[in-house]
Amino acid sequence: MRLTGLSLIAARRFAETSGGAHILRQKLFRDYRIGALLDLPATGRAPLAVHPGPLIQNRRRGWPGADLDPPQTPSFRSTAEDLRNAYKTGELSPVEVLADIRRRIDDDAFGEATFSPFCCHDFEVAMKAAEASEKRYQDGSPLGPLDGIPVPLKDQHTMEGLPTGAGSSYLDELAEEDAHLTEILREAGALLFAKTHTTEWGMNPCGFSAHLSLPRNIYDRQYSAGGSSTGAAVAAGLGFTPVGSGSDGGGSIRIPAAMNGIFGIKPTFVRIGRSGDFFGSSTVSATGPLGNSTGDLVDFLSVAATVDDSSDPSRRWAPRQRNLGERWRRALGRGVKGCRIGIPRQEWSELDEPLQGPTLQGLAELEKDGAELVDIEVPLMAHAPAIGMLSIGMETLANLHDEYEQYAEAFSDELRMTLALLRTIDAREFLMAQRTRSALRQTVRKALDNVDLIALPTTRTTASEYSPELDGVPLSDITALRDMTRFTFLANITGLPAGSVPVGRHNGLPFGLQFVGGAWDEASVIAAMAHAERQQWTRLPAPDECRALIP
């Protein structure tokens, strides 16, 4: 159901009445199959989980792996490794790269995306960091994989001196300190030159906003770029950066990555600390990167995920693992020979028909190089979208309660309608869904005792229609929201790592394939993603405005 303009305003007003909310709730229950979830017999539930940390497999799997060369990136994209090599030889400098990015932004060089992926900039501080980085490279003493690399931050993490809008229309106070993520990226020498657009409070996976001019799909301006890490995906897809930060509470890294033909990974829950995050605490959301290659994702993770966050108590669930960065880097050459990949066929049957052939062919290519494709059944997996929607929805409803009390009129009609519908969910319904979440977590752990990865489509469909003419127009599309998150919620409600790779295009629009791994086993996800990249079926044609940072 798609509503725009006055029709959405009328629906929102109706939803904010007691009778109207309960009538519209019936459609929500049908679309997300919430009724079927709540009608499950006792066998479909387990005791409530004590905490949302991921369940570790009963049996540790893995495959011997290989020592292959890193995958090659197409010439129209620059990776962080490309930049590091150019800095070391003196072919290019961080100062020159940052100046070029600024010129492109000043020239509005956004191609089909139409609007800028960036909501605010800090070139003055970033240039000082670039000058310091340039000197380190000249002295032969760079700090690490992100030294001198331009890395924009999603507009939910605070950056000293810049506002944090969180996709809203009313937050504009300048931050007095950096978030945890911001601080460790600065210390690693990254050039934090801008913040990227997000949808309102991260609650729209399509990339719609009534408040902000969000960039459109980099391949076709008539379509959305996905969300909620919209700007990060577009910035990487257009070549402004090799990698940017995102967050993922229901697919918000993997969806825009898939929609724009790039790579993205949601690491294990609380792998990266979240203090200074305006989206607040959540049992489903994780911070992670979107980038031009699997190697770029590893560069980001090896910095952001290896420093503790003492202000985020949920980090205590993360195990102490040594040499994580080295482990993830080795995974880039591990290959897939001997890797068992589980295929839940019932889930795949819900993928749009035009997308099925290329996505399954991608898995067949992995099989040619030694991966073993295994049909699996995971009871309750079909209920993941309903559980996910209730989990992130009710947590957001609670987190935004005080904001809404003060700024209700500044919220979009779409979000106001969503919050009104969520208020019809009672405590019994929410907690029953959480009991099924507990049962599903156990069935997924059991499946991962016998396979290394679970393969799923990233989204059910390609990007939604969202022409520039709709800029500033109230818009809601429940069907599109459901289709974007149909296969992504599983990793969020289980807390497991999941990464998306490009797999093809339909009518010119990209779509993706995702791999879900075991708890704290990003390495296996990275290995499969990197081998897909090595086989080159992830390589999509460049959009017209895409440009490498290295001339």
Decide if 42 contacts 436 (C-beta within 8 A).
Answer: no
Give the integer Cα–Cα distance in Å for 499 and 455: 10
543 within domain boundaries: no
Mean pLDDT of 86-111: 97
The answer to whether 255 and 142 have CB atoms below 8 angstroms apart is no
* Residue at 28 is within a domain: yes
Q: Report the number of distinct structural domains present in the chain.
A: 1
pLDDT at 41 over 90: yes
**Mean pLDDT for the stretch of residues 328-355:** 97
Is the residue at 398 inside a domain? yes
Residue 320 included in any domain: yes
Is residue 544 included in any domain, yes or no? no
499 φ/ψ angles, rounded to the nearest 5 degrees: -125, 145
Q: Tell me, what CATH number does 48's domain have?
A: 3.90.1300.10
- Report the distance separating Cα 320 and Cα 306, nearest Å: 10
- Is the pLDDT confidence value at 320 over 80? no
The two structure tokens encoding residue 431: 């907690």
Confidence at 61, pLDDT banded by 50, 70, 90: confident
Contact yes or no for 180/276 (Cβ under 8 A)? yes
Q: Name, in order, each residue with C-beta under 8 angstroms of 193's C-beta and a sequence gap of 6 or more.
A: 98, 101, 102, 121, 122, 123, 126, 150, 152
**3-class SS of residue 511:** strand
Full residue range of the structural domain in which residue 406 is found? 2-71+78-535
Decide: 156 and 247 in contact? Cβ < 8 Å.
yes
CA–CA separation, 378 vs 391, rounded Å?
20
Q: Residue 98 falls within a domain, yes or no?
A: yes
* Residues ≥6 apart with Cβ < 8 Å to 192: 122, 125, 126, 129, 151, 152, 153, 159, 182, 185, 186
Q: How far apart are CA 214 and CA 359, in angstroms?
A: 28
Position 358 in a domain: yes
pLDDT in tens, 165-222: 999 999 999 999 999 999 999 999 999 999 999 999 999 999 999 999 999 999 999 9
Is 480 domain-assigned? Answer: yes
Please tell me the predicted confidence (pLDDT) of residue 53: 87
Answer yes or no: is pLDDT of 316 > 90. no
SS3 label, residue 371: coil
- Confidence band for 308, pLDDT divided at 50, 70 and 90: confident
